[in-house]
């Protein structure tokens, strides 16, 4: 290894690891700040919380490594420029591109690791995280009985204790409302002067032993039917010396396996699984489209069956009246309809033949084209002025009612299929976005190197001041573009490919421009003024 490579690589390791853990810590803290109220106060051990945070930390690795490269590159090359090491190397004839070569290898290795994490670490960790996090959010808070406050932790019961003894077991003036019956309107109340409460040795049950009290219970409507006392005594009061109630504590136990998590979500699939899922969604969408087209067959059935039967009746009536020679229009109409029906049957046979070919594995586009042509040809049927003109007046109502019912039914079917297609299309876009983001987030690591290293050499400031500020600004731009692309893809404004690669497209020209500026040792217009302004700002804050 050459001395330049050893120098740059050695300088890169410390800031790289430190930046990675800082990025992970900040992203995990953002998660905790958002969901801290749903985590605390539920009786979880420190191990449960650490396990949850560990899985979340693995899922955010693809988000943490880009800012790791950005911060470390600005720090390393800013420090080298501040110590005039870059100037010395350049004066010896070493180009900035050659000085950046070790960092390029590190950035490429980070990009490969990002792809590996997105395809293998993140799906499994995300599944385990969501499984535990969903169970955690559904978990009830730890059971606590406070003085003077109704406790509703137990399902169907409300417990109030006026005061507790010093041992936290002796209780006084206890009220328990029992709402466990199906009929919630009936009152079932227990009042006691004193008692004790405690949990079993295995913490599986909560026991309340009450003394000197009454149970007030509203009787069912069927109780004492026919009795005159029913209207005088609507409640039943029972006095007791001791009364015990045992509550099951299993609902307060944390069970990470109790949550049902869909393993086919886009964040839990690898690249081969995503490609397979996209193909499956496309096939399902094509099948639903064919189902939509098949809903128009009923229109042809009405035309070819009902109307033909009515014409046969008219034909028989006209034959018996011997009107064929006198009424040429009727003969023309009948011949016209027969030709139309022949065309209908011909097109129907052609569609059925193409449909059979599709089921045997032939191109589905031919089927759809045949179906569309089949429907389009119906608009040129040589019928009379309208279908109703060919119907016997006495049966017009029946046929119109049948057609309206069929149209309503087919409309509902088509609307359902259209909604299904929209859901499939949204799911496909999610899969495609997740697939492309796995690789675009890896490429952004390399792009951030060509932003951070030139900026460090131009700014000539090391440490955690300016490098961290610059890194946060560019990382904010990256995240804003990423979130904007996701929202536009969700609204079907942008394709998944453009939404995923848009951060790279926007930041790559900036990286190229900064690299060229740094290689030519050119300065930003007003860069010194900006640096002086920041120095004054930090000086005021310290004062």
- Highest-pLDDT range among 275-284, 330-339, 369-378: 275-284
Residue 115 has pLDDT above 90, yes or no: yes
Give CA–CA dist 348/414, Å, rounded. Answer: 20
What is the model's pLDDT at position 311?
56
**Higher local confidence (pLDDT), 387 or 116:** 116
- Highest-pLDDT range among 166-175, 377-386, 425-434: 425-434
**Lowest model confidence (mean pLDDT) among 149-153, 343-347, 485-489:** 343-347
Alpha-carbon Rg for the chain in angstroms: 39
How many Cβ atoms from other residues are within 10 Å of residue 403's Cβ? 17
**Sequential DSSP letters for 275-305:** HHHHHHHHHHHHHHHHHHHHTTHHHHHIIII
β-pair partners for 160: 175
Task: State the average pLDDT over residues 154-179.
Answer: 83
Task: State the average pLDDT over residues 484-506.
Answer: 90
Q: What is the tens place of the pLDDT at every residue in 409-452?
A: 777 777 887 888 888 888 888 899 999 999 999 999 999 999 98
**Lowest model confidence (mean pLDDT) among 60-64, 416-420, 508-512:** 416-420
**Higher local confidence (pLDDT), 31 or 146:** 31
- Highest-pLDDT range among 327-331, 405-409, 447-451: 447-451
Distances (CA, A) of 463 to 73, 76, 473, 488: 11, 8, 17, 38
Task: State the average pLDDT over residues 119-139.
Answer: 81
Residue 376 has pLDDT above 70, yes or no: no
What is the model's pLDDT at position 449?
92
**Cα atoms found within 13 Å of the Cα of residue 451, Cβ hemisphere only:** 28
Average pLDDT in the chain: 75
What distance lies between CA 237 and its chain's CA centroid?
54
Task: Give the model's confidence band at 519: pLDDT under 50 very low, under 70 low, under 90 confident, else very high.
Answer: confident
Nearest to 73 by CA among 102, 115, 114, 111: 102
- Highest-pLDDT range among 102-111, 295-304, 390-399: 102-111
What is the model's pLDDT at position 310?
56
Q: What is the tens place of the pLDDT at every residue in 203-253?
A: 677 888 888 888 888 776 555 555 555 444 467 888 888 888 888 766 666
Task: Give the model's confidence band at 158: pLDDT under 50 very low, under 70 low, under 90 confident, else very high.
Answer: confident
Give CA–CA dist 144/155, Å, rounded. Answer: 14
Residue 52 has pLDDT above 80, yes or no: yes
Q: What is the pTM of this model?
A: 0.64
What is the model's pLDDT at position 374?
46
What is the model's pLDDT at position 318?
56
What is the model's pLDDT at position 330?
47
Residue 403 has pLDDT above 90, yes or no: no
Beta-sheet strand order (sheet of 235-248): 157-164, 170-178, 188-199, 205-218, 235-248
**Higher local confidence (pLDDT), 129 or 203:** 129
Phi, psi of 233 (to 5 degrees): -125, 75
Residue 527 has pLDDT above 80, yes or no: no
Give the pairing type, strands 170-178 and 188-199: antiparallel
Distances (CA, A) of 156 to 23, 96, 178, 183, 433: 46, 72, 6, 11, 46
Residue 489 has pLDDT above 80, yes or no: yes
């Amino acid at each position: 290894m050459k001395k330049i490579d050893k120098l740059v690589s050695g300088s890169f390791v410390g800031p790289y690891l430190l930046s990675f853990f800082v990025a992970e810590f900040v992203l995990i803290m953002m998660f905790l700040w958002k969901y801290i109220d749903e985590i605390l106060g539920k009786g979880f051990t420190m191990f449960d919380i650490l396990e949850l945070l560990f899985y979340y930390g693995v899922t955010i690795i693809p988000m943490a490594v880009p800012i790791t490269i950005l911060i470390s590159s600005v720090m390393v090359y800013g420090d080298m420029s501040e110590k005039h090491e870059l100037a010395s190397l350049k004066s010896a004839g070493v180009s900035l591109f050659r000085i950046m070569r070790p960092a390029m290898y590190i950035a490429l290795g980070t990009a490969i690791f990002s792809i590996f994490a997105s395809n293998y670490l993140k799906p499994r960790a995300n599944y385990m995280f969501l499984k535990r996090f969903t169970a955690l959010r559904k978990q009830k808070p730890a059971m606590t009985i406070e003085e003077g406050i109704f406790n509703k932790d137990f399902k169907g019961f409300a417990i109030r204790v006026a005061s507790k003894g010093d041992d936290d077991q002796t209780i006084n003036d206890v009220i328990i409302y029992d709402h466990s019956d199906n009929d919630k309107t009936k009152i079932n109340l227990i009042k006691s002067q004193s008692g004790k409460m405690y949990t079993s040795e295995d913490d599986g049950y909560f026991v309340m032993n009450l003394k000197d009290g009454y149970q007030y219970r509203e009787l069912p409507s069927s109780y004492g039917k026919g009795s005159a006392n029913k209207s005088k005594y609507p409640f039943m009061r029972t006095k007791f010396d001791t009364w015990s109630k045992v509550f099951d504590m299993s609902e307060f136990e944390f069970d990470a396996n109790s949550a049902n998590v869909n393993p086919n979500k886009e964040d839990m699939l690898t690249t081969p699984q995503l490609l397979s899922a996209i193909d499956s969604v496309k096939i399902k969408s094509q099948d639903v489209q064919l189902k939509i087209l098949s809903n128009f067959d009923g229109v042809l059935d009405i035309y070819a069956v009902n109307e033909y039967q009515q014409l046969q009746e008219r034909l028989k009536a006209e034959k018996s009246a011997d009107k064929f020679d006198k009424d040429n229009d009727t003969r023309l109409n009948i011949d016209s309809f027969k030709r139309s029906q022949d065309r209908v049957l011909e097109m129907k046979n052609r569609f059925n033949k193409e449909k059979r070919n599709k089921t045997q594995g032939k191109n589905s586009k031919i089927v759809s084209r045949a179906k569309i042509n089949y429907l389009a040809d119906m608009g040129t049927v040589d019928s009379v002025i309208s279908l109703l003109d060919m119907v016997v007046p006495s049966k017009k109502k029946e046929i119109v009612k049948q057609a309206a019912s069929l149209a309503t039914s087919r409309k509902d079917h088509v609307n359902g299929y259209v909604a299904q297609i929209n859901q499939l299309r949204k799911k496909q876009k999610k899969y495609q976005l997740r697939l492309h983001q796995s690789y675009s987030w890896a490429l952004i690591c390399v792009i951030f190197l060509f932003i951070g290293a030139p900026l460090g050499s131009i700014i000539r400031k090391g440490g955690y001041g300016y490098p961290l500020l610059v890194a946060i600004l560019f990382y904010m731009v990256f995240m804003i573009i990423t979130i904007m692309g996701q929202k536009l893809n969700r609204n079907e404004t942008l394709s998944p490919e453009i939404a995923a690669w848009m951060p790279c497209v926007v930041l790559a020209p900036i990286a190229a421009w900064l690299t060229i500026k740094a290689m030519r040792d050119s300065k930003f217009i007003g860069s010194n003024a900006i640096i002086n302004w920041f120095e004054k700002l930090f000086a005021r804050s310290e004062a």
